[in-house]
Amino acid sequence: MGRAWDPKTACALALVLVFLCGCTVGALVMDLGVHNRSRQTAAFETSAGKREYFERLQKELDLTPVQSEQIESILNDFWQYYVSVLSESKTRVEQILNPAQRAKFERLLQEQQTK
């Protein structure tokens, strides 16, 4: 016959097994892309993304027409600023890279846009 398990050891082993099962399920969920379902919308820096975000605000906040107009104006200003900062930052980074690094940087940016 086998020897009896110490209750503290059995409890610790059970906790470790539960933790490992949770990690496994979490990894599977992440791998299946379930965490990205909300990310299937257009990126904010695109016109479509800006429009989707504004429409979501209108719907979820139940904005009046006056509020919608004011918020759309604010979002347009922010969007122009955001696009300008992205463009300027990209230019500044490219200025310090050599041609091979610039090509890799462009590839990385393309990969990021497809995610």
The per-residue pLDDT of the chain, averaged, comes to 82
| pTM (two decimals) | 0.50
82 by Cβ neighbours in 10 Å (0-12 / 13-18 / 19+) ranks as: middle
The model's confidence at residue 58, banded by pLDDT at 50, 70 and 90, is very high
Find the helix packing angle between 65-96 and 47-61, rounded to 10°: 150
pLDDT of residue 103: 93
Asked if 49 and 41 touch (Cβ cutoff 8 Å), the reply is yes
The model's confidence at residue 69, banded by pLDDT at 50, 70 and 90, is very high
Domain definitions of the chain by residue range: 9-40
- Dihedral over alpha carbons 39, 41, 44, 50 (to 10 degrees): -150
Is it the case that residue 40 has pLDDT exceeding 90? no
The model's confidence at residue 15, banded by pLDDT at 50, 70 and 90, is confident
Chain mean position to CA 115: 9
